[in-house]
Amino acid sequence: MKKILITGALGQIGSELMVALQKRYGHDNVIATDIRRPPQVDGVFEVLDCTCGHRLHETILAHDVGTIYHLAALLSAVAEARPQEAWRVNMDGTLHVLEAARIHGCSVFVPSSIGAFGPTTPADDTPQDTIQRPTSMYGVTKVAGELLCDYYAHRFGVDTRGLRYPGIISNVTPPGGGTTDYAVDIYYSAVQHGKYTCFLREDTFLDMMYMPDAIHAAITLMEADSTKLLHRNAFNVTAMSFTPEQIAAEIRKHLPGFTMEYKIDPVRQGIADSWPNHMDDAAARVEWGWKPEFDLASMTTDMIRVLKNRFGK
Ligand code: NAD
Ligand code: SER
């Protein structure tokens, strides 16, 4: 079979997607790449900067690649601190990947985000097709990325597909500098120290998803019948929506002594306030059968079980 290449494979999502793809399609059929070299990796790995077009072409040809999961990006908080670099990595990187896909006939998965929405978007039950005027650099690159993927599909027939992921919660690789990172940090801190200082306000609703559902969504979308995909590059997908107070209350069911303080980061609070409270993901459910397995309660049970084992608590 043609190989599967992942960019940004050492990140929060890539590190777990790599293992899932290896299990599904064969260990040696997955080519993990990232701009940095890991101390060790179980599988085929190449250093690859996604903004370097000729290295992308070389790697695709060398490994006979047919599918690209393009995960390399700067996330919202990092992008806000380094907006020019975010444009270069998120936009130039995506353009190079799409161009390589066009030339070599690859299909491409490019994740978008809740960050593709902005303060003028309806915040509750955010429709699939709605106003998108984001105010963060991350959001600007995500909307432009969605449009660029649409363009490559319509103009050149490239099989591009994508999801608007919410905040992803996981326990393998730490998140890379986003606004939703608190919902991962809180579990580590609760299990290790019994307390957490949250950088978002207690009543900030955001969409979230547990990593197994995020991985399942990407692979299911890439395997879906393309004739059914009306919204091919930007499917709203969510599994739950909660506030910091609500996740803390859920954690207290397992760790009754857990306490939380607040020290608001105005940059990340501003970004969070501009994002939806809860997206409507009906299009994903209808067009390719999206259905999450985990809700806040089952995710919390699993996160605390895994982290307690890891930290010997
Ligand atoms: P991450 O920050 O954890 O990982 C990104 C990886 O990209 C890192 O390993 C980094 O070394 C690599 N990278 C950075 N610049 C690069 C370059 N020039 N060339 C190659 N690699 C480079 O990110 P993630 O959370 O795994 O996110 C993956 C994708 O999913 C991104 O497009 C992100 O916007 C999207 N997404 C993530 C979330 C989330 O909560 N994690 C939510 C919505 C969307
Ligand atoms: N988790 C991501 C972020 O906060 C959402 O795209 O940047």
Q: Residue 249: helix, strand or coil by DSSP?
A: helix
Q: What is the pLDDT of residue 213?
A: 98
Determine phi and psi for 167, rounding to 5 degrees. Answer: -65, 130
Cα 83 to middle of ligand 1, angstroms: 15
Does residue 51 line the site of ligand 1, with CB under 6 A?
yes
Q: What is the pLDDT of residue 150?
A: 97
Question: Which among 203, 215, 210 has a CA at the least distance from the CA of 240?
Answer: 210
Residue of the nearest CA to atom 28 in ligand 1? 71
Does residue 34 line the site of ligand 1, with CB under 6 A?
yes
Does residue 178 line the site of ligand 1, with CB under 6 A?
yes
Cα 258 to middle of ligand 1, angstroms: 31
How far is Cα 74 from Cα 90, in angstroms, rounded to an integer?
Answer: 7
From 5, 6, 35, mutation site for ligand 1 pocket: most ligand atoms within 8 A of C-beta: 35
* pTM of the complete model: 0.98
Q: What is the pLDDT of residue 211?
A: 98
Question: Which among 64, 56, 47, 154 has a CA at the least distance from the CA of 99?
Answer: 56
From 78, 82, 110, 138, mutation site for ligand 2 pocket: most ligand atoms within 8 A of C-beta: 138
| Ligand 2 first shell, C-beta below 6 A | 75-76, 113-115, 138, 167, 178-180
Q: What is the pLDDT of residue 208?
A: 98
Distance of CA 140 to the CA centre of its chain: 16
Say if residues 258 and 252 touch (Cβ distance below 8 Å): yes
Q: Which atom of ligand 1 is nearest to the CA of 173?
A: 3
- Provide the CATH number for the domain formed by 167-208+239-277+294-311 in this structure: 3.90.25
Instruction: Render pLDDT for 157-199 as a digit per residue (tens, 0 to 9).
Output: 999 999 999 999 999 999 999 999 999 999 999 999 999 999 9
Instruction: Render pLDDT for 123-147 as a digit per residue (tens, 0 to 9).
Output: 999 999 999 999 999 999 999 999 9
The helix-helix angle for 93-104 and 137-156 (nearest 10°) equals 20
Does residue 284 line the site of ligand 1, with CB under 6 A?
no
> Is residue 210 annotated as part of the catalytic site, yes or no?
no
Q: What is the pLDDT of residue 184?
A: 98
**Could you say which ligand is closest to the alpha carbon of residue 34?**
1
Q: Which atom of ligand 1 is nearest to the CA of 10?
A: 9
Q: Which atom of ligand 2 is nearest to the CA of 75?
A: 7
Evaluated on CA atoms 40, 42, 45, 47, the torsion sign reads negative
Residue ranges covered by each domain of the chain: 3-166+211-236, 167-208+239-277+294-311
Say if residues 140 and 117 touch (Cβ distance below 8 Å): no
Residue of the nearest CA to atom 5 in ligand 2? 167
What does the pLDDT profile of the chain (313 residues) look like in tens digits?
999 999 999 999 999 999 999 999 999 999 999 999 999 999 999 999 999 999 999 999 999 999 999 999 999 999 999 999 999 999 999 999 999 999 999 999 999 999 999 999 999 999 999 999 999 999 999 999 999 999 999 999 999 999 999 999 999 999 999 999 999 999 999 999 999 999 999 999 999 999 999 999 999 999 999 999 999 999 999 999 999 999 999 999 999 999 999 999 999 999 999 999 999 999 999 999 999 999 999 999 999 999 999 999 8
Q: What is the pLDDT of residue 284?
A: 98
Q: What is the pLDDT of residue 86?
A: 98
Cα 253 to middle of ligand 1, angstroms: 32
Question: Which among 228, 229, 236 has a CA at the least distance from the CA of 282?
Answer: 236
Determine phi and psi for 209, rounding to 5 degrees. Answer: -155, 145
Q: What is the pLDDT of residue 121?
A: 98
From 74, 75, 140, 204, mutation site for ligand 2 pocket: most ligand atoms within 8 A of C-beta: 75
Give 3-166+211-236's CATH code, choosing from 3.30.565.10, 3.30.70.340, 3.40.50.720, 3.40.640.10: 3.40.50.720
Structure tokens at 256: 């009754």
Beta bridge partners of 47: 34
